[in-house]
Amino acid sequence: MPLTTGISFITQAVTSLLFPPVCSLCESVMSHSNGSICEACLESIRIVPEPVCGKCGMPVPGVGPGNSSLCGRCLIDLPTYEKARFGVLYDGELRRALIKFKYYEATHLGKILSEVMVQAFRSHFGACEFHLIIPMPMHPRRLRQRGFNQVVVMGERLSRETGIPLDRTSLKKMKDTPPQVGLSRAKRVLNPRGSFGISRPEKIRGRKVLLIDDVSTTGSTIAEASRIIMKAHASCVNVLVLALRLAYTGHPQYTESQGENLGLSSAET
């Protein structure tokens, strides 16, 4: 064995002993380091089960196959965006990681969550062309409290990976609405209305926009934000959300682990 190879092997062995690899989501020590997520976390990541509404992307067990079938809500009140899609379900270790990222200053988790967002984009919008990525904004008061917008962090990574410019300032949160968590379905629908505004409509006019967000339950917030963007004469709006919080767990495919379908690799395979 050449001397340099031997030194490199010893260095790696000592590094692994002193600084063993940890899972990017649950932060537990891993026995192997072939990936950034441990096997248990990979198995806990679930993509949104098919079939879904061709418009809002919500799983609807009774809807027909294909992107043209709409759910009952969209048939009654059609959103202004072209389509919305979700990366994964909001549960398991990904849910815990997102909560720690947003509320407990675990900013290092932004890297793996951004990777999930990038893979979701490639899965749902890889063949599409966009002029702008617009992250869901925060009200200035909440932004000062938290110190950062987690959706902007993911948008920065998505912009670097795709080459699509990130527009952080055109869409504004004008009204400090209560968080959607804990509200009834009826209040979730009404809560975001009138809360968004456009500061620079000239940047949006005629543009194909990808609106991104971190979590959605009813889709009311993304629908309202899309409506305001289209009111500013965007050419079209599509929506990508990192995680969908299901209001029910009765879908026949809900319990299937499908993290590998997003292109994420386990560290223990």
pLDDT tens digits for 2-27? Answer: 555 544 545 444 444 455 678 877 87
Do 258 and 30 meet the contact criterion of CB atoms below 8 Å apart? no
Residues 6+ apart with CB under 8 A from 58: 52, 71, 73, 219, 244
Q: Minimal CA–CA distance to 84: which of 67, 98, 99, 97?
A: 67
Task: Specify if 56 maps to a domain.
Answer: no
Nearest Cα to 127, choosing from 226, 204, 238? 238
Within a domain: 61: no
Number of folded domains in the chain? Answer: 1
Domain that holds residue 132: 5-49+80-262
Residue 256 pLDDT exceeds 90: no
* Per-chain mean pLDDT for the chain: 82
**Within a domain: 208:** yes
Q: Is residue 69 part of a domain?
A: no
Q: Is residue 62 part of a domain?
A: no
Q: Give the CATH number, domain containing residue 101.
A: 3.40.50.2020
The answer to the question of residue 34 being in a domain is yes
55 occurs within a structural domain:
no
42 occurs within a structural domain: yes
What's the pLDDT tens digit per position in 147-202?
Answer: 999 999 999 999 999 999 999 999 999 988 766 566 566 666 666 677 899 999 99
Residue 136 Cα distances to 170, 259, 266, 267, angstroms: 10, 25, 30, 32
Among residues 49, 250, 227, 183, the alpha carbon closest in space to that of 58 is found at: 49
pTM of the model: 0.82
